[in-house]
Structure 1
Amino acid sequence: MYRSAFCRKNCSPRLIITAVIGAVFGFFVGVSFPSVSLYKIRNFPLSLGPSVGGATSESKQFYMVGSSESYRANIYKIYVPTNPHGAETLPPAIVVPETDLYLRRLWGEPSQDLKKKPKYLVTFTVGIDQMNNIDKCVKKFSEDFQIMLFHYDGRTTEWDRLEWSKTAIHVSARKQTKWWFAKRFLHPDIVAAYEYIFIWDEDLGVENFNAERYIELVKKHDLEISQPGLEPNVGLTWQMTKRREDQEVHKFTKEKPGWCSDPHFPPCAAFVEIMAPVFSQEAWRCVWYLIQNDLVHGWGLDFALRRCVSPAHEKIGVVDSQWIVHQGIRSLGNQGETLGGISPRDAVRIRSKIEWAMFQKRLVNADLAYVAQRGKG
């Protein structure tokens, strides 16, 4: 009785003081840490079907974020100038600046989608008439190589008869060249997952080519831009790309008198053709910007590739021990149209030469503009 009476007289002030201190402390904690709460949605409107573990959507728990006014105010203030252009208002941890061409499932856990990630990307620009040859080419590449086909004739479904075609990437646009496709679908941020990118024509014989061995030699000789050697007696334009039987790789050659102003410059060095080039990831990041949107044939590009690696005469070369045959089939050339009595093939070739002259002029003008701007600075 005495203890109870004593507590009634003295405990009330203590309780009041404790409550006040607790309230003040809670206030400061709330101010310091904006509240974020997760509210469970028990009746989510979408039926997701069975999960990986066999549970149905009824056992799934979905959450949405509820937040205090101060939290929302801080979120609205996000601005990160080092983020990619257009993404400055996003927190950096959510920004994904690059992607890939990996095929993913529509079901299951995303982390389990890929049994193996291809290391390299191989593209062919194709028409249905060259299906058998492309089939032979693709079979030279293992699962480490992602296959991508650019269809210039609009015919894609017939390729389904080939088993590997079902896991290849298919892009179709009628009467377009490989450089048109490359500029639009091989942005460096899209193919950043691949160590090397092959951009090949459809009329190549690969009986003497081994893809894995080719990659080994490219790495061994530190080549950023390369191509397989060409069979000497078929479809040869430049001495630089001619296969040498006594070497693994070569980086220099001799051309006709007057063709090379400098032995370290194309076409005597720092040179590969555009029919079967192979680019490292870093080299391609530069080359992609060099490709012009409206100059679709790529003529003249081979002479400018040296600008994307340094020293170019050491970083560009031809792999002799893994060689190919240029069959010289003018399939894409036949996709042109008769113009003023000129055959479709000749019309395409005339356009190619016009583009070469335009590209050279643009490059010279760009150089002059850069030098002039530096002079002003």
Structure 2
Amino acid sequence: MSPAAAPPSPSSSLPPLAEVLRSMRVVAIPTRTRFRGVTVREAAIFDAPQGPSEFSPFTEYDDAEAAAWLAAALDYGWAEQPAVRLDRIEVNATVPAVAPDEVAEILARFPGCRTAKVKVAERGQELADDVARVRRVRELMGPAARVRVDANTGWSVAEAVTALTALAEFELEYAEQPCVSVPELAEVRDRLRTAGVPVRIAADESVRKASDPLAVARAGAADLLIIKAQPLGGVSRALDIVREANLPVVVSSALDTSVGIAMGAHLAAALPEGMLAGACGLGTVALLSDDVTDTPLVPVDGSVPVGRPTLSEASLARTAASPERTAWWAERVSRCHALLTTGAV
């Protein structure tokens, strides 16, 4: 892992595990629509000294990957954060891989948003499904809106070129992570340019899941980066990557509660002047059926405020995970804390 992305070293100051566990509440919140296979979103919420913080790597992630998410949660909850330049962040609507007749209902949850990110390459679906979904988004949002697609590594190079050529008629702003590897992204980008297809390439998994998050920038494999605070180890570490990569960025989230969204909004608001490349993927609380605060960070007039929400005891009780799932998360936090303490990741 590169120095910019590395979690804290053993000499770094981490809060004691006992203190972290005492501050933890685990929630399980149903989603309004199935999203990347998830129908219930689980998260560990910490009532920390600097304010609420969140640890919510997806359950299938191993401890080595999840440890960076815990580093982010501990940093955001127990350490001072970088100064911000903005007080609100423009956000995009996020459209899961739904049927075209469901798109209007999804977009209605994102009032004022003039950018939409549309999920494509869903397992079990065809290119025709993607085309129909993106067409419906463009019809509903109009020609002035920005429309992006996110394949979450779902295509081969040939499939990506074919799909993005077909989807280009909808004037895409960019395509996010069409393929798995950095060389594949570079090849897709080159082939689209050669063919005169005006679709930019954005890298997400090639940054947040990479042993070297700067490789995609050095290879010229993307036009911009999608940055997430939690998987990159926190706001400060994500800012280090942005400065080194020197590419435009969009800040996104991973279906977080409002606490995790607040971390992402802080990152977006702290970016250097001129680095933010448009609306951020920080409106996804609208896809959850509940939240951990009485003032959820859902889009209002197309943006969300910068600042930590106040935890609601009633909300935490209402969304509380089962004792078995709470114990599972406590064990996961303990294992990841040990990895950070020993520098094993």
**TM-score in terms of structure 1 length:** 0.25
**TM-score in terms of structure 2 length:** 0.27
